[in-house]
Amino acid sequence: MAAIERMRNSNDSISQIASVLRDQNQPLTERFRALFTLRNLGGKKAINAIAGTFSDPSALLKHELAYCLGQMQDDYAVSILTEVLEDENQEVIVRHEAGEALGAIGSLSSIKVLKKFEHNDIIELAHTCQLAIQRIRWLHGSDRHKKNLSKNPYNSIDPAPPAECQDLVKLEKMLLDESLPIYTRYRAMFSLRNMQTDEACLVLAKGFSSSDVLFRHEIAYVLGQLQNPISIKSLMEVVEKLDEDPMVRHECAEALGALGTSECTEFLAKYLSDKERIVRESCMVALDISESGDQFQYANTLSKVTSVSA
């Protein structure tokens, strides 16, 4: 821990890692490794290094920048994410991730900007902001202390808490009922994920039939967390749908990379030249993470720059 703290306070180390992150001539996989390294280091210097990359042409990378800032849960990033959310020149997937990240950080001050977009014509953006507002209100309310909520085994900061219900049949009904608020359906989704069973995975995969792009994208995300081979067929079918929204296809590709079986890697290799940049880049990064076999070891830019410095 002391070594990490020294690196966190070292301008040289942070700037070297930041230079890898911002260098468009570097392979995208190395830039992702640099990003995850900065996320693990944390602190204002790491956040500033990440923030300086939102002008990049890769929507996938910028989306991941916002995700990491949210997971770091540092109020210092709120103004950065607010600016990204409000920037109409940014891709929808990037603005969505910035809104979700504001919800993850959970500052009451973010509600004002989130409310500006909760009824936006871009439905993915509107739903993201609705979820973020609800999560922040839950976080600062008495409900967050309820003890009968299932535990998240993945240590991720989710856009909604799990539902109180633990009945599989009832949760499936909540998940698939499109007349319910998106927040209610997300809560059912995370309760199902936390069950970590084959049955719950199969129910979650039914969520790909939803008419909501954001919802389908989140289904892919949680299936990637679960890493249950029972979901491979469903994830592959979505990637194969060339008329599916790239936001969903890219998340399914990343989920297959998390699963990392030989079947998954062979499949992903076929989409390295996909017409959608975000899909082919997702396959590239997913294959790289899959080959590393360890998410913590994947964030290895710190060891590389310190090795060079030595």
Residue numbers belonging to the annotated binding site: 63-64, 96-97, 217-218, 250-251
CA distance 182 to 210: 11
The residue to which tokens 């944390």 are assigned: 42
**CA separation for the pair 36, 24 (Å, rounded):** 17
8 Å CB contact between 99 and 105: no
Answer for the pair 14, 46: CB distance below 8 angstroms, yes or no. yes
Residue indicated by tokens 């998940």? 175
Amino acid at the residue 223: L
How far is Cα 255 from Cα 234, in angstroms, rounded to an integer? 11
Binding residues for Fe cation: 63-64, 96-97, 217-218, 250-251
Residue 308 burial (C-beta neighbours within 10 Å; 0-12, 13-18, 19+): exposed
Q: Who's near 149: CB < 8 A, 6+ residues apart?
A: 161, 162, 164
User: Is-contact 145 179, C-beta < 8 A?
Assistant: no
Residues in the chain: 310
Number of neighbouring beta carbons within 10 Å of residue 28: 17
Residue 296 phi, psi dihedral angles, 5° rounding: -70, -45
Please say whether the beta carbons of 151 and 178 come within 8 A.
Answer: no
Q: Give 306: exposed, middle or buried? Use CB within 10 Å, 0-12, 13-18, 19+.
A: middle
| 116, two tokens | 């500006």
Q: How far is CA 5 from the centre of its chain?
A: 26
